[in-house]
Each structure stands twice: as structure tokens, then as C-alpha cells.
């Protein structure tokens, strides 16, 4: 059985793979794609999977933009953090969903629904119809626009030597890109390597809390103690409890950073 997973959270992706293996449906781990663009490239160059597990918010945007650009004709089980307002849209169109966080029992129920509907999908081969029609996409877009609030990342799963470490976003003092790797640095100065570019991570973080300093750094307003004038129309940012550390804005970013400070 060919399965594809669209999921930007490593812990959630690992759980989905684990549940699939527990259900006997994935002898080998299926591909996991974290962005709309990577998913589009994969779908354009591979056969259609038998089943797709899809998060709603990926690294570079809403997954419905993918389904508007590429006609997916296989069944989709959504794994979503969005609450009850979306469920009628899923139910009304025969789309299975899993509301995060979900248990194996809930996962198994969604698979059972897929198995039940599988005959209908197979029987429609003579006159194929996409699992997500234009009408379904419109309904889901409307539900999101009318009821959703921006869903910003609350924690990072960080691969460490002895496994995965869960880092709360509240504990991140600043984020820094260094030689192609992006790090989250906590209040104690510990550096945690993250997946994704600084720009991708910036989209996932609450802009009211994390402001751009320059091309390589974001700072958490909760850790900013004071801001001082610096050379060449830049600003020096001092962090709480870090007297020896100075972060600086770029000259180009200084005006925007000032506006961000004023809220």
C-alpha cells in the first residue's frame, strides 16, 4: 500500500508512521513531506498514492493551496489541530479527519472508514473524481477564514543525541541562522538545531512575539531588556540576564524593528 504523509511537525510525523506500522500498513516508512512546494514536486513526479495523510498548515503555507494546484484523486485523511468548526465540512464530503492530538484508537477508526469507503473509490475508476472537489475546497476555505485564528508553533521537537527533546517556544530567547543551520537559543544560552530555514520558522512563530533583527536572527520580545542606538543607524538589543551578549539590527531592518517594538 502506497502512503504519503504531509506533515511539518516531526513528532506528529513519527507518530503517524508508528501507527501505520502498528496497523500493519507500512513495512517501510512512507515519505514525509513538510512543505507545499515539496509536496507538489513529489506528486508531479510520482504515481498517485493509495492514501494520503495531510496536515492543514505546512511550513510554507496552507495545504489547500496544494490541492488547488494539483488534483489529488486518492482518499485523504486530515491530521489537523483545527477544532470543531471544520468537522461538518469533513463529514459532509466523506473526508476522514483526525483531530490532534489523537490516539491509536482514533487513528484506527479513520483507517476503518477508509477501508469501508475503499470499494467506492475503486468502483469510480471508470469516471474518476478528485477526493477534493472545487466545492469541497471552497467550503473548507470558508470555514478557515470565518472561524480560524492563526495557529503559531508552541514547541519544537529537536533531535538530540539521545532522542527527541521538546523545546517550548516560550523558552526560546532568539533564533539564529549560522552556516546553513538554524538554531533556537534558550535563556541559558543552550543552542538547539531546528529543521527549516529562518524564513520558514519566522512564518511559524507569532509575529507579535518574535521580531526580525537582521537576515540571520529573530528575537523573542519577552527576553528583550533594553534597546540602544548602535553604529550606522543600527540598534543594539540587550537580553535579560545576558549582560555580555549583544544582538544588533541591520540598518535595513532597523525601521521595521522599531515599529515592531512599539507593538
pLDDT in tens, 172-185: 999 999 988 999 99
- The low-confidence residues of the chain, meaning pLDDT below 50, are 84-85, 89, 92-94, 124-130
Q: How far apart are CA 205 and CA 200, in angstroms?
A: 9
Q: Are 34 and 183 in contact (CB under 8 A)?
A: no
Closest C-alpha to 169, from 179, 181, 158, 180:
158
Q: Which domains does the chain possess?
A: 3-147 (3.40.50.2300), 155-261 (2.40.50.1020)
For 108-128, the pLDDT digits (tens) are 998 888 887 776 555 544 444
What's the confidence (pLDDT) of residue 187? 92
Return left, alpha or beta for 61; rule: phi > 0 is left, psi -120 to 50 is alpha, else beta.
left
Q: How far apart are CA 79 and CA 63, in angstroms?
A: 12
Q: Could you give the 3-state DSSP secondary structure of residue 44?
A: helix
Tallying the residues shown for the chain, one arrives at: 263
Residue 81 CB partners (closer than 8 Å, separation 6+):
56, 57, 99, 100, 151
Q: How far apart are CA 65 and CA 141, in angstroms?
A: 10
Q: Alpha helices, DSSP H only, in the chain? A: 10-22, 36-45, 64-69, 87-92, 104-123, 134-147, 198-204, 254-261
What's the confidence (pLDDT) of residue 9? 85
What's the confidence (pLDDT) of residue 179? 85
Closest C-alpha to 136, from 101, 181, 89:
89
Residue 138 CB partners (closer than 8 Å, separation 6+):
none
What's the confidence (pLDDT) of residue 125? 47
Beta bridge partners of 36: none
What's the confidence (pLDDT) of residue 139? 67
What's the confidence (pLDDT) of residue 133? 67
What's the confidence (pLDDT) of residue 140? 67
Cβ-count burial of 99 within 10 angstroms (0-12 exposed, 13-18 middle, 19+ buried)?
Answer: middle
Closest C-alpha to 76, from 22, 130, 10:
130
The pTM of the full predicted model, rounded to 2 decimals, is 0.57
Residue 37: cis peptide before it, omega within 30 degrees of 0: no
Amino acid at each position: 500500500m502506497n502512503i504519503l504523509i504531509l506533515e511539518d511537525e516531526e513528532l506528529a510525523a513519527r507518530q503517524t508512521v508508528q501507527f501505520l506500522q502498528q496497523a500493519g500498513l507500512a513495512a517501510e516508512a512512507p515519505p514525509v513531506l513538510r512543505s507545499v512546494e515539496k509536496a507538489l514536486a513529489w506528486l508531479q513526479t510520482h504515481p498517485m498514492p493509495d492514501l494520503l495523510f495531510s496536515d492543514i498548515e505546512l511550513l510554507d503555507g496552507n495545504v489547500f493551496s496544494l490541492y488547488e494546484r494539483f488534483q489529488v484523486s486518492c482518499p485523504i485523511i486530515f491530521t489537523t489541530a483545527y477544532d470543531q468548526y471544520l468537522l461538518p465540512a469533513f463529514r459532509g464530503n466523506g473526508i476522514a479527519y483526525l483531530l490532534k492530538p489523537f490516539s491509536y484508537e482514533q487513528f484506527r477508526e479513520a483507517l476503518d472508514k477508509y477501508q469501508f469507503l475503499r470499494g467506492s473509490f475503486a468502483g469510480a475508476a471508470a469516471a474518476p473524481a478528485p477526493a477534493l472537489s472545487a466545492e469541497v475546497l471552497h467550503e473548507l476555505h470558508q470555514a478557515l477564514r470565518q472561524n480560524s485564528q492563526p495557529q503559531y508553533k508552541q514547541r519544537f521537537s529537536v533531535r538530540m543525541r539521545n532522542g527527541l527533546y521538546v523545546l517550548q517556544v516560550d523558552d526560546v530567547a532568539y533564533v539564529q541562522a549560522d552556516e546553513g543551520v538554524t538554531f533556537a537559543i534558550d535563556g541559558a544560552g543552550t543552542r538547539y538545531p531546528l529543521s527549516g530555514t529562518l524564513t520558514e520558522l519566522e512564518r511559524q512563530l507569532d509575529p507579535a512575539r518574535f521580531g526580525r533583527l537582521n537576515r540571520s536572527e529573530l528575537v523573542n520580545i519577552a527576553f528583550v531588556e533594553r534597546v540602544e542606538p548602535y553604529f550606522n543607524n543600527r540598534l543594539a538589543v540587550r537580553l535579560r540576564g545576558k549582560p555580555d551578549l549583544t544582538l544588533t539590527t541591520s540598518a535595513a531592518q532597523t525601521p521595521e524593528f522599531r515599529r515592531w517594538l512599539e507593538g
